[in-house]
């Protein structure tokens, strides 16, 4: 059983990898969680912020990874953050940094009491 949950509040683009806009998708531990479609993506540019309101269960640690969708070849990995159960408490922000890109992920961790 999961011992914690993370609520992903929002994603902000500080600097896209592509010139103007990235076509991003998000994975939790290797499984696409946003957008919900299997091969969907969301276009985002510098200064744009997307409210997500995703609640994701996990045990001790979970890895959130952003990808830039590519028409040809493999999608570009924009970076990964690890979120831990001991981060429970107030709102937090972590940088997701890749080769030439920077995103800010805002979230809250809660422990689950059984």
Residue with the larger pLDDT of the pair 48 and 2 = 48
Is residue 1's pLDDT more than 70? no
CA atoms within 13 A on the CB side of 73: 3
Q: What is the three-class DSSP state of 17?
A: coil
pTM: 0.92
For 73, which DSSP code? Answer: S
Predicted pLDDT at 14: 97
For 64, which DSSP code? Answer: E
List the structure tokens of 44: 């985002």
Distance in angstroms (rounded) separating the CA atoms of residues 89 and 83: 12
For 113, which DSSP code? Answer: P
What is the average per-residue pLDDT within 53-74? 93
Give me the percent of the chain exceeding a pLDDT of 90. Answer: 80
């Amino acid at each position: 059983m999961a011992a914690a949950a993370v609520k992903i509040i929002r994603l902000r683009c500080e600097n896209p990898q592509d010139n103007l806009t990235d076509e991003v998708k998000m994975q939790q531990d290797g499984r696409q969680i946003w957008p919900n479609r299997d091969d969907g993506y969301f276009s985002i540019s510098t200064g744009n912020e997307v409210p997500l309101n995703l609640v994701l269960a996990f045990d001790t640690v979970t890895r959130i990874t952003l990808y830039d969708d590519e028409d040809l070849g493999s999608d570009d990995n924009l970076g990964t953050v690890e979120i831990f159960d001991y981060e429970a408490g107030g709102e937090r922000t972590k940088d997701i940094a890749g080769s030439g890109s920077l995103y800010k992920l805002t979230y809250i961790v809660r422990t689950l009491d059984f």
